[in-house]
């Protein structure tokens, strides 16, 4: 087999937290750099034909050809594709990353003449990308998650509009015919146009291309989330703890007390009653599943936008975690460990209750179960956001107008997003690594399972070209003991609870845009709020007494008031109401009556 060379520049060390003000400064630096390069490029050439690719496009148009004039020369031999990524958890940073060839990388080299140089910066990717922008030397492709940088690249005319790019360099591309219109519209609403190929697409139009093969996938889409409240069934059975015991707030505390005092061990090691999502616990646990559990929503009783931290349900979520800390069910030291350390506890089956992101662990043969919410003592209904409109996906892959070999890149994008490319990327080689039946359902062979687990897991294309609807179109109902089987049982449990209020998360899509100018007085205060809340939430949750909890919570309210949180929310509310009117939908504060 021909060896494929995949080179990496740097190793990503995850930066789980960062000072918001520092990030704001970095983004302003990028914006200034972009503005400067935009002025230079506009002075040198037309905005639609910036850089090498733009010049080649002009040559093609002049000659009446679809491909660039020097396409035949550039297609001879093998070229390097410089691919930049700011994505944590994919690529050289992952523990099980392999530089061995995969079917996908081999296909890319043999059919498109491209080897991949993937760069993930060792520190802040925004800084690195800003420096490349300032120097005028962008990568060929960028797979990024930073919405502000995306918008700045578009504003500076540094990346290709996908329609123009594909019409110029691969006019027969299936993407020009079947790219989901609802996702294209969502990208246009967010970024002003279709400038990227998004990963993890899931929408009504995408499901027309790749319809789900079973109701289980529909439940995952309509009621599912990666954030879950999970219990170790082995510990439950060993200590005689039942589902009924852990489905109420008081019963849950009693179960944790039982675990703490039981002396129960796993392979000679003690058991932790509760863990959150390690040093990501604020975003992944508190602001996610815990706040949902106690019915916190981002609107007030009048239906106006309000920071969710001001919801009474959010306070109950804070108090829930504080109770776990005060009663020593939750060890505060686990709030500062990284994901690798967290997995050592989870993999050893030493955790009774895990409140976090189930996707961050291989759950094969793991005893995790979820019963939905832990019902609040005051009777508050749980509330859960689910995007009921087409989203924009996750990782956005953009093509620089200065890219080398644009025809090769265009054909790579078309292939990687096609049925053929997705099958090769996800499953390997048909007949060797998998079989496919007349309904299009894929079954991995034993050899294929071994390769995907040992050699190809998390390899080059797996995430930037992941297509969620495709997965649910080709994947059989998973073995309940497999990672996927446990996952699809956990994800919809919270939303499947009969009294859970599910609201349309797409109504909050404006939060990904710049509602308030960052350099304005309110914009600066908003940045200060984000920084302040990260530290203050930790103080509230770890308060040593009920009195200390109330004091720190009141300090939060007072400080937010000083930062003009009401004025900020009024600005957000203007855009939120526009979204509600446009979509004909709204979010309700379903627990408002409890707090009057």
Contact 389, 504 (CB under 8 A): yes
Strand partners, 435: 443
Q: Please state, in angstroms and rounded to a whole number, the distance separating the CA atoms of residues 357 and 284.
A: 6
Question: What's the confidence (pLDDT) of residue 46?
Answer: 32
Q: What band does 117 get if pLDDT is binned at 50, 70 and 90?
A: confident
Token pair of 485 as six digits: 């089987």
CA 529 to chain CA centroid, Å, is: 23
What are the tens digits of pLDDT across the range 132-158? 877 878 999 999 998 888 998 999 899
Question: What's the confidence (pLDDT) of residue 337?
Answer: 95
By CB neighbour count within 10 A (0-12 exposed, 13-18 middle, 19+ buried), where does 136 fall? middle
Question: What's the confidence (pLDDT) of residue 34?
Answer: 45
What are the tens digits of pLDDT across the range 434-485? 999 999 999 999 998 888 777 766 554 678 999 999 998 998 888 999 998 9
Top pLDDT among 265 and 58 is at 265
Question: What's the confidence (pLDDT) of residue 174?
Answer: 97
Q: Please state, in angstroms and rounded to a whole number, the distance separating the CA atoms of residues 318 and 459.
A: 39
Contact 121, 12 (CB under 8 A): yes
Question: What's the confidence (pLDDT) of residue 478?
Answer: 87
Q: Please state, in angstroms and rounded to a whole number, the distance separating the CA atoms of residues 188 and 527.
A: 26
Q: Please state, in angstroms and rounded to a whole number, the distance separating the CA atoms of residues 384 and 426.
A: 30
Evaluate if residue 37 carries a pLDDT over 60: no
Question: What's the confidence (pLDDT) of residue 93?
Answer: 56
Q: Beta strands 114-119 and 6-9: pairing type? A: parallel
By CB neighbour count within 10 A (0-12 exposed, 13-18 middle, 19+ buried), where does 425 fall? buried
What are the tens digits of pLDDT across the range 89-98? 666 555 555 5
Listed residue (36, 534, 493, 528) closest to 224, CA to CA: 493
What are the tens digits of pLDDT across the range 495-545? 999 999 999 998 998 876 678 998 999 999 999 999 999 999 999 999 999
Token pair of 237 as six digits: 């059975």
- The full set of domains in the chain, from first to last, is 79-201+392-469 (3.40.190.10), 224-386+509-594 (3.40.190.10)
Percent with pLDDT over 90 in the chain: 66
Measured in residues, the chain has a length of 596
Q: Please state, in angstroms and rounded to a whole number, the distance separating the CA atoms of residues 229 and 482.
A: 19
Listed residue (128, 127, 123) closest to 139, CA to CA: 128
Q: Please state, in angstroms and rounded to a whole number, the distance separating the CA atoms of residues 173 and 417.
A: 10
Q: What band does 215 get if pLDDT is binned at 50, 70 and 90?
A: confident
CA 285 to chain CA centroid, Å, is: 15
Dihedrals phi, psi of 144, to nearest 5 degrees: -130, 160
- Count CB neighbours of 73 within 10 A: 9
What are the tens digits of pLDDT across the range 301-345? 999 999 999 999 999 999 999 999 999 999 999 999 999 999 999
Evaluate if residue 5 carries a pLDDT over 50: no
Considering the entire predicted model, what is its pTM? 0.69
């Amino acid at each position: 087999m021909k060896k494929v060379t995949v080179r990496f520049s740097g190793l990503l060390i995850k930066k789980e937290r960062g000072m918001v003000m520092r990030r704001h400064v970095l983004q302003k630096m990028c914006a200034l750099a972009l503005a400067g390069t935009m002025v230079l490029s506009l002075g040198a050439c037309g905005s639609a034909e910036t850089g090498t690719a733009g010049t080649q496009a002009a040559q093609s148009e002049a000659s009446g050809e679809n491909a660039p004039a020097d396409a035949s020369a550039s297609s001879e031999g093998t070229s390097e594709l410089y691919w930049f990524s700011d994505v944590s958890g994919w690529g050289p940073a992952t523990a099980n990353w392999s530089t061995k060839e995969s079917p996908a990388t081999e296909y890319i080299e043999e059919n498109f003449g491209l080897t991949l140089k993937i760069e993930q910066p060792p520190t802040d990717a925004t800084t690195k990308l800003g420096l490349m922008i300032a120097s005028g030397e962008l990568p060929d492709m960028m797979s990024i998650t930073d919405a502000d940088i995306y918008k700045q690249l578009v504003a500076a005319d540094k990346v290709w509009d996908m329609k123009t790019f594909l019409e110029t360099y691969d006019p027969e591309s299936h993407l020009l015919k079947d790219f989901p219109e609802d996702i294209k519209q969502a990208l246009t609403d967010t970024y002003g146009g279709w400038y990227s190929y998004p990963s993890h697409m899931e929408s009504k139009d995408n499901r027309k291309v790749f319809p789900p093969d079973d109701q289980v996938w529909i439940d995952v889409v309509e009621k599912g989330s990666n954030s879950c409240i999970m219990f170790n069934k082995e510990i439950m059975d060993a200590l005689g703890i039942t589902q009924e015991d852990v489905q109420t707030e008081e019963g849950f505390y009693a179960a944790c007390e039982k675990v703490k005092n039981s002396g129960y061990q796993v392979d000679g090691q003690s058991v932790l009653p509760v863990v959150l999502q390690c040093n990501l616990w604020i975003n992944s646990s508190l602001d996610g599943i815990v706040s949902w559990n106690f019915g916190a929503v981002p609107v007030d009783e009048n239906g106006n936008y309000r920071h969710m931290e001001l919801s009474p349900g959010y306070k109950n979520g804070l108090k829930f975690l504080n109770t776990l800390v005060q009663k020593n069910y939750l060890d505060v030291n686990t709030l500062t460990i990284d994901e690798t350390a967290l997995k050592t506890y989870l993999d050893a089956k030493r955790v009774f209750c895990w409140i976090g992101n189930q996707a961050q662990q291989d759950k094969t043969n793991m005893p995790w179960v979820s019963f939905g919410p832990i019902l609040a003592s005051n009777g508050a209904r749980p509330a859960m956001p689910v995007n009921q409109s087409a989203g924009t996906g996750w990782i956005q892959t953009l093509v620089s107008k200065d890219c080398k070999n644009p025809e090769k890149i265009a054909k790579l994008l078309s292939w990687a997003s096609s049925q053929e490319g997705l099958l090769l990327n996800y499953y390997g080689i048909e007949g060797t690594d998998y079989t496919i039946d007349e309904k299009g359902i894929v079954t991995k062979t034993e050899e294929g399972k071994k390769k995907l687990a040992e050699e190809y897991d998390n390899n080059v294309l797996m995430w930037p070209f992941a297509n969620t609807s495709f997965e649910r179109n080709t994947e059989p109902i998973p073995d309940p003991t497999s990672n996927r089987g446990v996952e699809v049982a956990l994800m919809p449990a919270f939303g499947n609870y009969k009294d859970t209020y599910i609201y349309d998360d797409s109504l909050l899509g404006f939060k990904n845009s710049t509602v308030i100018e960052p350099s304005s007085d309110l914009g600066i205060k908003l940045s200060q709020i984000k920084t302040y809340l990260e530290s203050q939430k930790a103080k509230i949750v770890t308060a040593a007494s009920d009195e200390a909890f109330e004091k720190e919570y009141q300090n939060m309210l007072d400080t937010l008031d000083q930062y003009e949180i009401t004025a900020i929310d009024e600005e957000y509310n203007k855009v939120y109401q526009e979204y509600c009117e446009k979509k004909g939908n709204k979010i309700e504060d379903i627990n408002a009556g409890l707090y009057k």
